[in-house]
């Protein structure tokens, strides 16, 4: 991954994030595209001992708009979770993504934009609940996480425009 959207973020110990449904750096499954909009299964390694909750986000670093495109954000996932099931719902608190959905919105690279990287990040926080207004923006989410971040794991999948 030549561009790391978390390179400037609050430094934190790394932990592994994997998926049985795609390899790191490899293509995302077709059901993770629009219109199916199914989130991938995720698993993570041992979290820092201070972890009390998790935030999962998915960011298209190559979307042809300034700042990329946030496809998914869920906060307040209990740190006791060892992963998320395929197309999971009902865990944590979903926030509205850049497309206005409180759910995973599948990738859909426009023609002519090449391969896109979906950066899935699991951030471990030292608080049980990240206190945010229900209509918080994803920028506000990222800012609010800074003083509470105790670890971070990243998994990247790729997608291509439809042929």
The pLDDT tens digits of the residues spanning 63-101 come to 999 889 999 999 999 999 999 999 998 899 999 999 999
Task: Please report the domains of the chain, with CATH numbers, ordered by start residue.
Answer: 17-159 (3.90.280.10)
Model pLDDT for residues 95-132, shown as the tens digit of each residue: 999 999 999 999 999 999 999 999 999 999 999 999 99
β-strands 42-44, 17-18 pairing: antiparallel
Q: Is 109 helix (H, G, I), strand (E, B) or coil?
A: coil
Bond before 31 cis per omega within 30 degrees: no
Rounded distance, CA 59 to CA 121, Å? 8
Rounded average pLDDT over 24-31: 94
Q: Scan for tokens 């041992």, then name that residue.
A: 46
Q: Are 34 and 105 in contact (CB under 8 A)?
A: yes
Give the torsion sign (CA, 152, 145, 61, 32).
Answer: positive
pTM: 0.94
Give the contacts of 129 (CB within 8 A, at least 6 positions apart). 53, 76
Rounded average pLDDT over 10-36: 93
Read off the tokens for 103: 């759910």
Read off the tokens for 143: 């800012």
């Amino acid at each position: 991954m030549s561009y790391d959207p978390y390179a400037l973020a609050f430094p934190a110990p790394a932990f592994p994030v994997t998926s049985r449904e795609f390899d790191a750096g490899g293509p995302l499954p077709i059901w993770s595209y629009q219109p199916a909009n199914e989130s991938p299964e995720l698993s993570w390694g041992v979290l820092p001992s201070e972890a009390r909750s998790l935030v999962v986000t998915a960011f298209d670093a190559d979307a042809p708009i300034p700042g990329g495109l946030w496809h998914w954000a869920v906060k307040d996932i209990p740190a006791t979770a060892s992963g998320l099931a395929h197309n999971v719902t009902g865990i944590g608190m979903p926030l509205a993504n850049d497309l206005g959905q409180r759910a995973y919105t599948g990738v859909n690279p426009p023609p002519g934009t090449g391969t896109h990287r979906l950066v899935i990040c699991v951030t471990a926080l030292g608080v049980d609940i990240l206190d945010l207004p229900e209509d918080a923006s994803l920028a506000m989410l990222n800012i609010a996480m800074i003083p509470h971040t105790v670890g971070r794991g990243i998994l990247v999948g790729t997608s291509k425009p439809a042929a």
